[in-house]
Amino acid sequence: MNETTQAEICKAITENSNIRNKRILEVGGCGSGRITSHLVKHTLNITAIDPCTASIRSAQNSYPQIEFLVGSGEKTEFKDSTFDAVIFFTFVASSKPSFGT
């Protein structure tokens, strides 16, 4: 995903939701943290979780000011009212199908 696409996704989220000055939990796969790094500019704070340890390590190294944790949205250890909102999105990668000739 290129920088323009990331910026467009963040713009859509910030224009269509009320995250300004809110405590946000990003669930669903923050990956290397590129989109999270854009979203943090519009929030009070953001915590992002991803089940992939390697992705979280990459995100932590790239954006040490953001809290990235290994975890799943199915069950978290956060107490009720820790966050004002939850953002969930994921990407499905696909390729053009190849049909036999």
Residue 70 lies in a domain: yes
Angle at 27 between CA 21 and CA 32, to 5 degrees: 95
What are the tens digits of pLDDT across the range 38-93?
888 888 899 999 999 999 999 999 999 999 999 988 888 899 999 998 888 765 55
**Domain containing residue 20:** 3-88
Residue 30 lies in a domain: yes
What CATH number should be reported for the domain holding residue 45? 3.40.50.150
pLDDT at 92: 53
Residue 98 lies in a domain: no
In angstroms, rounded to a whole number, what is the distance separating the alpha carbons of residues 69 and 79? 15
pTM above 0.95, yes or no: no
Residue 60 lies in a domain: yes
In angstroms, rounded to a whole number, what is the distance separating the alpha carbons of residues 66 and 30? 11
Q: Give 72's contacts (C-beta < 8 A, 6+ positions apart).
A: 49, 51
| Tally of structural domains, the chain | 1
> Of 2-6, 9-13, 71-75, which gets the smallest average pLDDT?
2-6
Residue 94 lies in a domain: no
Residue 66 lies in a domain: yes
